[in-house]
Amino acid sequence: MNIVIQTPRLYLRQFTEADAAIMRQLNNEPGVLQYIPEQAPASDEEALQILINILLPQYQQKLGRLAVHLKENDAFIGWCGLKWLKESDTIDLGYRFTPATWGNGYATEAAAATLTYGHGELQLKKIVAHAHIDNLASQKVLEKIGMQCIGEGMDSGMPVKGYVSFSNNL
């Protein structure tokens, strides 16, 4: 297992091709894609193709969404990580957690550690994030980890708030 980041309650590891089923399940949980312009994979095979074509290649640049597990029982609870967005040539912070775990501060804990990892270990000067204007929980997470809201706009056809974080080494 390739663990990249650890926090007091969580560890974040790289996904592998063996994770297709848990990715399909997460994206099919009610509410998970409410504010995200994506279709949930209908099969493990479809989820596997997303892993192979979109997710796993990001690891070559030390970026990528990471599987988040609870240290206390190794349960998979979602993902958090950095992704290079080709269209804007920016590094995006994103996360997605299974609804049964919402409200425990896990997203904040994982996202804060990922931001620190990005600015520190990876020496990224700028990290961006976007949240649907009605996704108040996600906006709260981004604000709690210190990202700055830079206004509203459209992203993939949906109204979003944009956020940015700059490293202190600029």
Q: Which CB, 46 or 144, lies closer to ligand COA?
A: 144
Q: What is the torsional sign of CA 74, 35, 27, 1?
A: negative
Q: Is 137 helix (H, G, I), strand (E, B) or coil?
A: helix
133 neighbors 152 (Cβ within 8 angstroms)? yes
105 neighbors 97 (Cβ within 8 angstroms)? no
Q: Which CB, 14 or 138, lies closer to ligand COA?
A: 138
Shortest Å, Cβ 37 to ligand COA = 10
Shortest Å, Cβ 143 to ligand COA = 9
Shortest Å, Cβ 170 to ligand COA = 25
Shortest Å, Cβ 106 to ligand COA = 4
118 neighbors 112 (Cβ within 8 angstroms)? no
For binding to ligand COA (CB under 6 A), which residues are involved?
32, 35-36, 95-97, 102-108, 131, 135-138, 140-141
Q: Which CB, 44 or 162, lies closer to ligand COA?
A: 162
End-to-end CA distance of the chain: 34
74 neighbors 103 (Cβ within 8 angstroms)? no
Q: Which CB, 45 or 152, lies closer to ligand COA?
A: 152
Residue of 61, 90, 55, 68 whose CA lies nearest to 165: 90
